[in-house]
């Protein structure tokens, strides 16, 4: 198991990210369960925008905000936070905003220019059609035309944040954790477990491929369960 604070080269991080793109969130969830991490799945209210946005996989870069009335003209803290994003990272947006947009087309363009590989938003987005044109993977809780300017303001970044969970009310996300999202939903892999979880998820994926092939060749489900166990 690697240290949570292990320093990886950009190439190492990208190799890990590409490997995660080849495994399913369901397998990752099973591996985490086996390690005793039972509450890493995120709420089913997180959905892809658009529906065919593609797989979300990257290192967490956290951004936090809150409902705060302020004059029109933009959120300087949001721009500063976004300027710190690095290649291979997924921006994770959290806060108490409801009914307003944290993230839109222009931020998606700016994120993509910096090498950001997607966004996870515990809140709202807008410009869905135009974000789709950017081929930028994005999972959020809702969409809304209402902007954040004057309503919701960034007050922290690269700090631990809480996002809504599936089996628990909240899941804590730390900078450098790994975010994986697909058709089944989104899961958070703690940084200290990334290598172990990836190795075990890859092994489970290979096992499932063998089982699928055997079933297609005529092996009964009962015999498959006897031979391979539950997966």
Binding residues: 104-107, 126-127
**Does 149 score more than 60 pLDDT?**
yes
Contact between 79 and 152 under an 8 Å Cβ cutoff? The reply is no
Q: Given pLDDT bands bounded at 50, 70 and 90, which one contains residue 2?
A: very low
CA gap 185, 164 in Å, rounded:
12
Q: What pLDDT sits at residue 219?
A: 61
**pLDDT digits 0-9 by tens, 47-77:** 999 999 999 999 999 999 999 888 887 889 9
Helix axes 10-20, 194-216, angle to 10 degrees: 30
C-alpha Rg value of the chain to the nearest Å: 19
Q: What pLDDT sits at residue 74?
A: 80
Q: What pLDDT sits at residue 70?
A: 87
Q: What is the DSSP string of 79-130?
A: HHHHHT--TTEEEEEEES--SSEEE-HHHHHHHHHTT--EEEEEEEE--HHH
Mean predicted confidence (pLDDT) in 1-6: 49
Q: Which CATH class is domain 10-191?
A: alpha beta
Q: Given pLDDT bands bounded at 50, 70 and 90, which one contains residue 1?
A: very low
Tell me whether residue 213 is exposed, middle or buried, using C-beta atoms within 10 angstroms of its C-beta: 0 to 12, 13 to 18, 19 or more. exposed
Q: What pLDDT sits at residue 71?
A: 86
What is the pLDDT of the chain when averaged over all its residues? 90
Spans of all domains in the chain? 10-191
Binding residues for Mg(2+): 127
Binding residues for substrate: 104-107, 126
**Does 178 score more than 70 pLDDT?**
yes
Phi/psi class of residue 126: alpha, beta or left (left: φ > 0; alpha: ψ in -120 to 50)? beta
Q: Given pLDDT bands bounded at 50, 70 and 90, which one contains residue 179?
A: very high
**pLDDT digits 0-9 by tens, 81-116:** 999 999 999 999 999 888 999 999 999 999 999 999
Nearest CA-CA partner of 187 in 34, 11, 94, 60: 60
Nearest CA-CA partner of 96 in 48, 148, 57: 148
- Lookup: tokens for 28: 């990752």
**pLDDT digits 0-9 by tens, 20-34:** 999 999 999 999 999
């Amino acid at each position: 198991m690697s240290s949570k604070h292990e320093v990886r080269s950009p190439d190492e991080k990208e190799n890990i990210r590409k490997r995660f793109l080849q495994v399913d969130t369901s397998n990752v969830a099973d591996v985490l369960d086996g390690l005793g991490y039972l509450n890493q799945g995120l709420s089913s209210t997180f959905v892809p925008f658009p529906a065919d946005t593609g797989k979300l996989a990257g290192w967490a870069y956290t951004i936090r905000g809150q409902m705060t009335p302020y004059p029109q003209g933009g959120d300087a803290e949001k721009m500063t936070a976004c300027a710190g994003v690095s290649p291979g990272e997924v921006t994770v947006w959290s806060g108490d905003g409801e009914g307003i947009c944290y993230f839109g087309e222009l931020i998606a363009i700016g994120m993509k220019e910096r090498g950001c590989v997607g966004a996870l938003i515990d809140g709202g987005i807008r410009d869905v059609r135009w974000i789709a044109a950017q081929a930028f993977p994005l999972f959020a809780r809702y969409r809304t035309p209402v902007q954040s300017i004057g309503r919701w303001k960034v007050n922290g970044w690269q700090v631990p944040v809480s996002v809504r969970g599936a089996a628990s009310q909240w899941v804590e996300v730390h900078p450098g954790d790994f975010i994986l999202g697909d058709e089944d939903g989104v899961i958070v892999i703690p940084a200290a477990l990334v290598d172990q979880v990836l190795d075990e998820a890859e092994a489970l994926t290979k096992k499932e491929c063998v089982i699928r092939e055997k079933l297609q060749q005529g092996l009964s489900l009962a015999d498959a369960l006897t031979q391979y166990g539950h997966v």
